[in-house]
Amino acid sequence: MLLISACSGDNNVPPRPVNAVIQGVNFIGSTVSDLEVTSDFYTNAVELQLSDEQEIVNDAVFNHLAGRSDVRLKTKLMKSSNTQVRFMQFESPSEAAKNTKHVEINGPGFAHVCYQAQSQTQAYQKFIKAGAIPIGDPDMIQLSIKNPVHYAYARDLDSTPIEVEHVDIEKLNRTTPPKYKHRIRHVALATPDFNRTIKFYSTLLEQEKPRIVGRFFSLSGEKFDAMSGLKDAELKMAFFHVRNIELEIAEYVSHPTSAPETPRPIDALGYNMVVFDVTDLALAKQKLITAGGTVETQPQDMDGGKIFFGRDLDNNLLGFQLLEASSPYSAKNFDGDGSS
């Protein structure tokens, strides 16, 4: 039941300092093969809405992250009720990117984004009708009859994993219904070293006690096998609440993965970054280094503000961005804390 509450509508989130350096998630980055097709795919299924679009040519930040000059790409910033995904289509992807395999549900790296929707929206069915491929059982799975949530994993049109949660709001034990029909519940990181990754993000996010499920006894059973498509699946999970969204950390102890020897190319299909909204770039850099991460770039101009990039202990790319509240890229545009 701890896992159920963590993945559904539980509002009992662990406390974080009000003045934490990281105040939210501006966006999750994802490389796609066709920007227009992808944006239509997500708009039709979970009502992501266009917030901003850009054509980027020979930009210093993206040149550095891609490891070459004259990088060209088009992007669409698509928003849900609580955060955003920035889809990126690179012109002439590198050979390394073309030869990079898609990420499995057990990682390593950014493994999936979870889209939560009220059941009557039929979000999962819309994804499947539009061409998404189920990863496990094609039918959604209810993990507990006591909790009115059904779950499924699938791959989008670029084989990028997504999770869909359907919530039956008529059966929720709440005095008021959720405010929105759709939201992005979390972005998931799959790691080969659960405890090390928990320690890193506890320091970075100033949250010493994330919700942890399966630390001592791994989660397992037929329903987890059916969801993940992995035989005899065993996993443990943790959830960090970053105001407008959650960061999920997962380790499949039954199907271990190794962190790649070199970072995943930014122009390889799939999730490529998480960009945090910060109050101070210097303090954010200090937090990253103290946690054991590495600095990838110095602060540079991007999207009307300043940003630097770093990497966590598994080489996942993290952005730390300082923006005005009026910027469409800022997490400050979303009210509440992403828990309803």
**Residue 23, pLDDT above cutoff 60:** yes
Q: Output the pLDDT for position 215.
A: 74
Of 9-13, 43-47, 172-176, give the lowest mean pLDDT range.
9-13
For all residues of the chain together, what is the average pLDDT? 92
- The tokens for 195 are 């405890």
C-alpha distances in Å from residue 92, one per residue of 60, 69, 263: 17, 12, 19
Q: Output the pLDDT for position 339.
A: 58
Tell me how far apart the alpha carbons of residues 180 and 136 are, in angstroms, rounded to a whole number. 28
Mapping DSSP to helix (H, G, I), strand (E, B) and coil, where does residue 301 land?
strand
Tell me how far apart the alpha carbons of residues 93 and 66 are, in angstroms, rounded to a whole number. 9
- CA proximity to 184, closest of 304, 289, 48, 335: 48
**Residue 114, pLDDT above cutoff 50:** yes
Tell me how far apart the alpha carbons of residues 10 and 17 are, in angstroms, rounded to a whole number. 20
Q: Rounded mean pLDDT of 121-126?
A: 98
**Residue 4, pLDDT above cutoff 80:** no
Q: What is the DSSP string of 33-75?
A: S-HHHHHHHHHHHH--EEEEEEEEES-HHHHHHHTSSS-EEEE
Tell me how far apart the alpha carbons of residues 240 and 136 are, in angstroms, rounded to a whole number. 26
**Residue 144, pLDDT above cutoff 90:** no
Q: Are 163 and 114 in contact (CB under 8 A)?
A: yes
Residue with structure tokens 């395999």? Answer: 101
Q: Output the pLDDT for position 177.
A: 73
What is the per-residue pLDDT across 233-250, written as a single tens digit (0 to 9) for each?
A: 999 999 999 999 999 999
The residue that leads in pLDDT, 171 or 245, is 245
Handedness of CA 30, 109, 317, 10 (dihedral sign): positive
Q: Output the pLDDT for position 146.
A: 85
Q: Rounded mean pLDDT of 62-86?
A: 97
Q: Are 301 and 208 in contact (CB under 8 A)?
A: no
Tell me how far apart the alpha carbons of residues 55 and 73 are, in angstroms, rounded to a whole number. 6
What is the per-residue pLDDT across 287-301, written as a single tens digit (0 to 9) for each?
A: 999 999 999 999 999
Q: In the beta sheet, which residues pair with residue 240?
A: 247
Q: In the beta sheet, which residues pair with residue 272?
A: none
The residue that leads in pLDDT, 98 or 216, is 98
- CA proximity to 322, closest of 272, 267, 285: 285
**Residue 17, pLDDT above cutoff 60:** yes
Of 188-192, 239-243, 332-336, give the lowest mean pLDDT range.
332-336
The pLDDT confidence band at residue 9, using thresholds 50, 70 and 90, is very low
The pLDDT confidence band at residue 11, using thresholds 50, 70 and 90, is very low
